[in-house]
């Protein structure tokens, strides 16, 4: 029987690419995002490439926190169960602190942290009842150090990573795996407006790496592993003056 994965933020970027990657690996996929028109296109394209795969579509805004548990249940019902939830929905608005842009900061926290927490909470409830499961959260290398003009984004991703670490301890011995991923620059609409994207990789390559890490049930990893596993350590110890120039 095919394993089944729910992907949030599946209408573009990493989520979209991972949907195709997991389908080619024999997984049935649940696609959740706000733009159902895009999800339907992705579903049709997956069915063309992998007609034997089950594909479920569910409209979901992760900031509609009360709807998140229903979305997890609906996709599980449509696919005949879930084995993995890929918590990926997120935004990056690039606001500066103290410049009258707090509304952007709030939206970032509501989506990237509170929305992710709502998704994780609902997924944990489902897997605890089922007796097994795997939750994968997408943090960022920005979680390693607060970056200028990305304060709320960095905070949201650091918070997500810590939340997942706490959940790993809470579910220890309960047959639920927790994976925290820290992507570097992957070519997606989230960052394609930036002038400088060091060590950039394609979204297809990023999805392939992520799929391998999911199947290995990695505890945590940068994406790609090298050079970001080294850069991540350096970010924590670089002088503030160096960080300020980034």
Which of the 8 DSSP states describes residue 100?
S
Tell me how far the alpha carbon of residue 66 is from its chain's centroid: 20
Locate 67 and state its tokens: 């709807």
Range of the domain at 175: 4-244
pLDDT score at 50: 95
Is 107 exposed, middle or buried, given 0-12, 13-18 or 19+ CB atoms closer than 10 A? middle
Domain CATH for 18: 3.40.50.720
Tracing tokens 């993995």 back to the chain, one arrives at 84
Task: Round to whole Å and give the CA distance between 174 and 235.
Answer: 34
Tracing tokens 């909470």 back to the chain, one arrives at 121
Beta bridge partners of 182: 222
If residue 25 lies in a helix (H) or strand (E), which one and from where to where? none
Task: Round to whole Å and give the CA distance between 126 and 54.
Answer: 20
pLDDT score at 243: 87
User: Helix, strand, or coil here: 12?
Assistant: coil
pLDDT score at 245: 86
Beta bridge partners of 84: 5, 134
Task: Round to whole Å and give the CA distance between 34 and 27.
Answer: 22
Task: Round to whole Å and give the CA distance between 172 and 157.
Answer: 23
Q: Are 145 and 235 in contact (CB under 8 A)?
A: yes
Prior bond to 227 cis, omega within 30? Answer: yes
Dihedral angle at the C-alpha atoms of 188, 109, 6, 44, nearest 10 degrees?
-40
pLDDT score at 189: 87
Catalytic residue among 27, 126, 153, 185: 153
pLDDT score at 1: 82
Angle at 127 between CA 27 and CA 20, to 5 degrees: 20
pLDDT score at 246: 81
Which of the 8 DSSP states describes residue 14?
H
Per-residue confidence in pLDDT tens, the chain, 246 aa = 899 999 999 999 999 999 999 999 999 999 999 999 999 999 999 999 999 999 999 999 999 999 999 999 999 999 999 999 999 999 999 999 999 999 999 999 999 999 999 999 999 999 999 999 999 999 999 999 999 999 999 999 999 999 999 999 999 999 999 999 999 999 998 888 777 899 999 999 999 999 999 999 999 999 999 999 999 999 999 889 988 888
Task: Round to whole Å and give the CA distance between 183 and 208.
Answer: 13
- Answer yes or no: 153 catalytic: yes
Q: What domain count does the chain have?
A: 1
pLDDT score at 238: 87
């Amino acid at each position: 029987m095919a394993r089944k994965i729910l992907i949030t933020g599946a209408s573009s970027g990493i989520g979209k690419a991972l949907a195709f990657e997991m389908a080619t690996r024999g997984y049935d996929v649940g696609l959740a995002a706000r733009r159902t028109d895009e999800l339907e296109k992705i579903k049709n394209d997956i069915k063309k490439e992998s007609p034997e795969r089950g594909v479920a579509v569910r409209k979901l805004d992760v900031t509609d926190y009360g709807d998140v548990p229903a979305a997890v249940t609906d996709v599980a019902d449509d696919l005949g169960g879930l084995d993995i939830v890929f918590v990926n929905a997120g935004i990056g608005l690039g606001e500066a602190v103290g410049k009258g842009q707090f509304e952007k900061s709030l939206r970032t926290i509501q989506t990237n942290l509170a929305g992710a927490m709502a998704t994780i909470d609902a997924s944990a409830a489902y897997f605890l009842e089922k007796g097994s499961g795997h939750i994968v959260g997408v943090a960022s290398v920005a979680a390693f150090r607060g970056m200028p003009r990305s304060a709320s984004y960095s905070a949201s991703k650091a918070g997500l990573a810590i939340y997942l670490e706490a959940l790993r301890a809470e579910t220890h011995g309960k047959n639920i795996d927790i994976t925290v991923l820290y992507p570097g620059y992957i070519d997606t609409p989230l960052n394609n407006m930036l002038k400088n994207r060091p060590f950039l990789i394609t979204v297809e390559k990023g999805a392939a790496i992520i799929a391998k890490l999911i199947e290995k049930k990695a505890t945590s990893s940068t994406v790609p592993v090298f050079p970001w596993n080294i850069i991540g350590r350096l970010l924590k110890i670089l002088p503030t003056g160096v960080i300020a120039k980034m």
